[in-house]
Structure 1
Amino acid sequence: MPAKSAAQQKAAGAALSAKRGETPKKDLQGASRAMEKSMSEKELKELASTSRKGKPEHVSKD
């Protein structure tokens, strides 16, 4: 599933980095912390690899 916003893509990238051990897990905040705990590396990679071109920064929670 591709990311729906640039913010979601960035959070997935941060979570993926922590899951791989490239950055400390203690540095994660908010959505990226939840993503790291609840998603597999494969799912995070799919979200993080989504292009940001044409994506809004945030999507409303409707």
Structure 2
Amino acid sequence: MPARSKAQQKAAGAALSAKRGDTKVSDLKGASKSMYKSMTEDQLADLAETKRGGKPEHV
């Protein structure tokens, strides 16, 4: 499932980073924190890898 906005992609990237252990889970806020809890690493990678061209900042 591709990201629908740049903000969604950024949140998925932050959650993915925490899932992989690159950043602290305590540093996550808002959408990225809920994505971390509810999505698998594969799902987060799919959202984070979406191309940004033509995407709105927020949906």
Identify whether the pair has TM-score above 0.5, normalized to the shorter chain: yes
Task: Give ranges in structure 1 of 5+ residues lacking alignment.
Answer: none
Report the TM-score, using the length of structure 2 for normalisation: 0.99
1:9-24 correspondence to structure 2 within 5 Å: 9-24=9-24
- Which residue does the alignment assign to 1:47? 47
Equivalent residue of 1:52, what SS?
coil
Shift of 1:43: 0.1
| Superposed structure 1 runs of 4+ greater than 2 Å apart | none
Report the TM-score, using the length of structure 1 for normalisation: 0.94
Larger Rg: 1
Per-residue CA deviations over 1:34-59 (Å, capped at 9, x if unaligned) read 00000000000000000111100000
Shift of 1:18: 0.2
Per-residue CA deviations over 1:2-60 (Å, capped at 9, x if unaligned) read 0000000000000000000000000000000000000000000000000111100000x
Task: Give ranges in structure 2 of 5+ residues lacking alignment.
Answer: none
Q: In percent, how many aligned pairs have the same letter? A: 69
